[in-house]
Amino acid sequence: GPARTRGRPAGASLNMAAALRPGSNVALVTPMTETNEVDVPALRRLVQWHVDEGSDGLVILGTTGEASTLSMDERAAVIEATVEVVDGRVPVVVGTGTIEPGAVVSACKHAKKHGADACLVVTPYYVKPPQRALVEHFSTIADEGGLPVVLYNVPGRTGVDMTPATIAQLAQHPNVVGVKDATGDLSRVRELRDLCGEDFGVFSGEDDSGMEFVSLGGDGVISVTANVAPRKMHAMLAAARDGRAAEAEELNAQLDLLHRNLFLESNPIPAKAALRLMGRIGGGIRPPLCALDPALEPQIAQALAAAGVEVVGA
């Protein structure tokens, strides 16, 4: 039937579909060579693999993509390579969030110029804006950035929690199409859905509770686990969304160790180590992060094995 907009402008749901599809949207790593140069050929292969394996969308240049350590030229190269390989088959969402609103708008315009479908914008971190300032911040970006905006709330990294009421206020803006909620608070799923309507994208940023999040009415996960097990993550979330609970639980049980062990050190340290063990990327990771503690490598290998992921030379 006709889209239920619940007071949102007609056609707003089309933005959500263009920006984020339900299911598994991978928070993609940025492959780097051993000398920490962005490895564009490895990136292109990784993106093609995600399309082939059924990832529902690509979220690039976020925390997992080490965006804060990349220059604008490097960002442009990552976006262009991703967009070219994807060739319209799935949405490409680009992380553009930082503290200063003008810089976010510039990053959004830059991402749009290079072919992004939407932007993922984290709340300003470290400075702890009050809720009314968050409304102002995101309204400016939605007005001026030129792209559909996915809000990103991750209080554990930012020091500020954007409340469901604030998110609902922003959801009225035709260019604000969804939210990535990384609070880990599953009671928010129904609250966000009730406040923001069916056509607003409600995505989890927590792999370990993603199945429950979707079962409770969420649309999907912006996933770190999908970096290494994209097909299984897609299948698990599709089952959860369709109410095939037993199948979702069986698949999620195989992914559970990855959900946990990919966070043994700060993301994306373990995810990059896993992809290196799989032979998909080199070992590069930029300061202020560093390579995985070698003592933890067996736990990464164990998690990959539990998920049925092939390790090179194993």
pLDDT digits (tens, 9 = 90+) for 77-120: 999 999 999 999 999 999 999 999 999 999 999 999 999 999 99
Give the number of other CB atoms < 10 A from CB of residue 132: 10
SS3 60: strand
Distance CA 287, CA 266 (A): 12
> Alpha-carbon dihedral of residues 44, 49, 55, 59, nearest 10 degrees?
-20
Tokens 């300003």 correspond to: 124
**Confidence at residue 152, expressed as pLDDT on a 0 to 100 scale:** 98
pLDDT at 70: 98
Residue 93 in contact with residue 116, Cβ under 8 Å? yes
pLDDT given at position 18: 75
The percentage of the chain sitting over the pLDDT mark of 70, rounded to a whole number, equals: 94
Average pLDDT, the chain: 94
Looking at the DSSP bridge assignments, the partners of residue 152 are 122, 180
Q: Is the pLDDT of residue 314 over 60?
A: no
pLDDT at 123 over 80: yes
More confident residue, 1 or 138: 138
* Angle in degrees, 0-180, between the axes of helices 245-261 and 297-306, rounded to the nearest 10: 170
Is pLDDT above 80 for 225? yes
260 Cβ partners below 8 Å, 6+ apart?
Answer: 208, 303
Question: How many Å apart are CA 247 and CA 12, to the nearest integer?
Answer: 33
Task: List the catalytic residue out of 113, 128, 152, 232.
Answer: 152
Active site includes 128?
A: no
Residue 81's SS3 state is helix
> Residue 19: its pLDDT value, please?
86
Whether 9 shows a pLDDT value over 50: the answer reads no
Written as six digits, the tokens of 35 are 């000398």
Residue 62: other Cβ atoms inside 10 A? 27
For the question of residue 180 being annotated catalytic, the response is: yes
Say how far residue 53 (Cα) sits from the centre of its chain: 17
Find the mean pLDDT for residues 49-60.
98
What pLDDT, in 10s, does the model give residues 145-172?
999 999 999 999 999 999 999 999 999 9
- Report in angstroms the alpha-carbon separations of 243 from 166, 278, 285: 30, 32, 39
Say what the pLDDT of residue 15 is: 61
Burial of 12 (0-12, 13-18, 19+ CB in 10 A): buried
Counted residue by residue, the chain has a size of 314
Query: Rounded CA gap, 205 and 210, in Å?
Result: 8
Q: How do 201-204 and 176-181 pair as beta strands?
A: parallel
**Residue pair 179/167 in contact by the 8 Å Cβ criterion:** yes
Catalytic annotation, pick one of 109, 113, 180, 272? 180
